[in-house]
Structure 1
Amino acid sequence: MMNPSCNTCEFKNSSLFKNCSSDELNHLNDNKCFNVYKKGQVIFHEGNRPLGLFCVFNGKVKVSRLGSDGKEQVIRLVKKGDTLGYRSLIENSKYSASAIALDDTEACFISASEFNHLIDSNVKVASDLMRMLAKVLGDTQDKLVHLAMKPVRERLAEALLLLKSTYDDKKSEHFSISISREDLSSIVGTAKETVIRFLSEFKEEGIVSTRGSEITILRADKLLQISSLYD
């Protein structure tokens, strides 16, 4: 597998490192590691100490934690071009969640020492990092409000729209994604059986179609209408 160059990376202009100089990117490139993860493989574990941060080059990742009842709750979906593990690194605290590959995933790893040196020496990168933290915090607060206020049917519609907005690079009319019902129920925050029941309703209404683990969104407009009923 070819190690992508930081200076020519397709995500350079939209990543946390967009305000790095060419020399800084060359230095990161010389000192990073390029890792490949199989579907279902853990990238980092909840409760472990962070050794660095990860830049997803290809694939899909879920960030999840276990509740007091032992059930998994997906708190974030990560796509290619996104950065992982920076919050715990900044806080110098243990990971509060785990990152798991939803399909075969490639990611670059930058050590804590290299990242901290960059933050200390580049004010623009440090500022971009603060904005990223603020956005993630806001998204998390919105999700908690929706989980508390919306019924399951509305939350499922919103979860399907979230999958589309996160992973539909081509902005296609009909978007398909393979995702287990367990993972989908963890995003929605309900039992797998409940997700299966409402998916069947959406299928009967012509909103989605399913084939095995694959879900195809046929009517995103209807999902938006359903998800907004309690807004």
Structure 2
Amino acid sequence: MKEDHLICYSCVNENCFIKKHLHLEQMKQYVAKKHSFVCKKSQQFITEGAPLQGLYFICSGKVKTVKTGINGREQIVRLTKNGDTIGFRGFGTSKRYLIGAYALEDTVLCNFSNETMMEILQHIPEFTYALMLFYADELNKSENNIRKIAHMNVRERVIDLLLYIHRKFGQVNGLIDIELSRKEIADFAGTTEEQAIRVLSSLKKGALIKTEGKRVGILGLSELRSEIMEHKYF
């Protein structure tokens, strides 16, 4: 990873926890301690089980976080973009990362060390409260995902994934603004690559989606929503 220098005060990511609290005078001393890195596409910057090195905030780019499952297979547990936080699972309760993380495209990351994050949490209650709400929201999402895996069939899980990335990343020129291989789609949907390909082919044949390389475009948004409406995906 190439180290870069970025100034939080000129950052455009309004959803970043750090950016939201820059109006507080005491944040200046902590922002000065951060490190920024450029992570190339497909490069891993967090290894599952590695010693905790603080939290990462995405300045620009996209990242997937993974966790090792049965038979050592990696499963994608989260897709993130500008302003999102990486490495929070295990922070404060574990000395090691509980997930791994890879850049899906050239990505700029801002890192705040364990010591800096603990100082912020101990001295800036507004930040601590916001992070507590963030953890509560992520816990709720994790519980919902567990229910989905238990109650959705393969087709429904792939559809749920497509609708999720459509909401998360938006659509540009008719295609969702993220590249995911068929294997990555399968890993996130909790199925095999072969099954994911079959579902995508079926959706494409039904004129519900289109594909161009690793990108997918949604054509029948309401129809796809209807298929999983009983699971209350929203």
TM-score by length of 2: 0.90
**What RMSD, in angstroms, separates the aligned Cα atoms of the two structures?**
1.9
> Map of 1:40-51 to 2, 5 A cutoff?
40-51=42-53
What is the Cα deviation at residue 227 of structure 1? 2.2
Partner SS for 1:34: strand
Q: Which residue of 2 aligns with 1:56?
A: 58
Find the aligned partners of 2:202 and 2:49 in 1 and give their Cα distance: 39
Q: What is the one-letter code of the residue matched to 2:175?
A: F
Match of 2:224 in 1: 223
| Partner of residue 174, structure 2 | 174
2:193 maps to: 192
AA aligned opposite 1:127 = Y
1:95-143: per-residue Cα shift (whole Å, max 9, x none)? 1111111111111111111111111000111111111111111101100
Within 5 Å, give how 1:105-144 maps onto structure 2.
105-144=107-146
Question: Conserved in 2, the CA contact under 8 Å of 1:185 and 1:195?
Answer: yes
Q: Distance in 2 between matches of 1:22 and 1:9?
A: 16
Report the counterpart of residue 148 of structure 1 in structure 2: 150
CA distance in 2, matches of 1:159, 1:140: 14
- 2:69 and 2:169 mapped to 1: Cα distance? 26
8 A contact 1:6–1:26 mirrored in 2: no
Quote how far apart the aligned CAs of 1:20 are: 4.2
Query: Which residue identity is paired with 1:174?
Result: G
Confirm or deny: 8 A CA contact 1:64 1:98 kept in the other structure. yes
Q: Shift in Å at residue 175 of structure 1?
A: 3.5
Aligned-residue sequence identity (percent) comes to 28
1:50 Cα shift?
0.8
- 3-state SS of paired residue (1:87): coil
The one-character-per-residue Cα deviations of 1:5-45 (angstroms, maximum 9, x if unpaired) are: 2123212x422232344544432332111111111111201
The whole-number CA distance in structure 2 between the counterparts of 1:15 and 1:144 is 27
Q: Which amino acid aligns with 1:189?
A: G
Q: Name the CA distance, whole Å, in 2 between partners of 1:92 and 1:220.
A: 41
Instruction: Note if contact 1:56-1:106 (Cα within 8 Å) is conserved in structure 2.
Output: yes
1:165 offset after TM fit, Å? 1.2
Higher alpha-carbon deviation: 96-105 or 183-192: 96-105
